[in-house]
Amino acid sequence: MLTLAWPLLLLLLPLPLIFRNKQQPKNLGGHLLLPGASLPTQIAATDNSQHSNKRYWLIWFFVVLACARPLWVGEPIELPTKGRDLMLSVDLSGSMQIEDMIIDGKVVDRFTLIQHVITDFIERRKGDRLGLILFADHAYLQSPLTQDRRSVAQYLTEAQIGLVGKQTAIGEAIALAVKRFDKVEKSNRVLILLTDGSNNAGAISPDQATQIAKQRGVTIYTIGVGADVMERRTLFGKERVNPSMDLDESQLQKIAEQTGGQYFRARNTEELEQIYQVIDTLEPVARDQLSYRPQSELFYWPLAIALIVSILISLTQVSFFRAKPYFNKGGR
């Protein structure tokens, strides 16, 4: 179905006629008198002004029509009536740039691994509503719960390490997720928390936030990211170190157990993908039947027509003045 987003803008169509009647000099017939040019009456006789005015009106019509935003509205599409509400909380602290992960044989940092796996996870969540929280020194809501999976994946792809600080505010990330779930009536209330460290920032502790989450019925699945062993070069050769010594696994296990969730250790891609199977076993929550109608913008069509007509008028006038010069011999 063809419709207009802003049909009231069509009231602007007679606007040039109003200004023309008020401002146009009667003795010039709408033409500009230049020094050394022939009389306006001579120009009017050769210019065919009535035909020209029709073309200007045509341009104005299509410009106003484009401003009114014509839309093509498709048939209604029903959204799934069952799904899960999942809030993803991703750590952006400085330690996430440690390169101890491998994707397809290539060494990458921890956040790149999370982006790689979670983006695929988001694409598989058809029918679910997803939200995204990024945290470091503090926690910030990047996306509320939505079925627009593409936007959530895009927000995660565009995120940068250190964007919201260098430290790790796990408590704030949990508290913010609980606050967002309070605005949803029918919900699974599932939080997936990914971090590679321990809580060392924020205004609320993980224990306090966990108790609040437990009272509000929020289930938390915690994921500790980081390899057990990493080789690094020194002046005396290679040495093996534990890059995940700052990971507080006991704290993450405690958070998951108290809220009815599970703790996962993600040392590689395969372990991180285990969360898929667990989330798929959760019972979807029934929702009200919702639908939407896809819309396609069509404003560029009338705008293109107006541009083409204006170019044709310009070319016609250039050819006309070249063929018939109006300047007097004595003019300067």
Q: What is the DSSP letter of 32?
A: P
**Between 3.40.50.410, 3.40.190.10, 3.40.30.160, 3.40.50.2300, what CATH number should domain 80-286 receive?**
3.40.50.410
Cα Rg of the chain (Å, integer):
33
How far is the CA of 320 from the CAs of 31, 41, 205, 258, 273, in angstroms? Answer: 15, 16, 80, 85, 72
pLDDT in tens, the chain (332 residues): 888 989 999 998 888 777 766 555 555 444 444 454 444 444 444 445 555 677 788 889 999 999 999 998 877 766 555 678 899 999 999 889 888 888 888 888 889 989 988 888 888 888 788 999 999 999 999 999 988 889 999 999 999 888 888 899 999 999 999 999 988 877 788 999 999 989 998 889 999 999 999 999 999 999 998 887 666 666 665 666 666 788 889 999 999 999 999 998 888 888 888 777 777 777 665 555 556 577 889 999 999 999 998 888 888 776 655 655 544 544 44
**pTM across the whole model:** 0.64
pLDDT at 263: 92
- Joined together, the tokens standing for residue 168 give 């790790």
- Taking the domains of the chain in order of start, what are their residue ranges? 2-74+294-323, 80-286
Q: Which residues are 219's β-sheet partners?
A: 190
Report H helices in 68-215.
110-123, 149-158, 170-181, 206-215
- Neighbouring CB atoms inside 10 A of 149's CB total 19
CB-CB contact of 202 with 166 (8 Å): no
Taking the C-alpha atoms of residue 258 and residue 217, their distance in angstroms, rounded to an integer, is: 11
pLDDT at 168: 92
pLDDT at 36: 45
Taking the C-alpha atoms of residue 36 and residue 240, their distance in angstroms, rounded to an integer, is: 91
Q: Per-residue DSSP letters for 47-89?
A: HTHHHHHHHHHHHHHHHHHHHT-EEEE---EEPPSEE-EEEEE
Q: Which residues are 265's β-sheet partners?
A: 224
What are the backbone dihedrals phi and psi of residue 85, each rounded to the nearest 5 degrees, phi first?
-110, 110
Taking the C-alpha atoms of residue 128 and residue 141, their distance in angstroms, rounded to an integer, is: 18
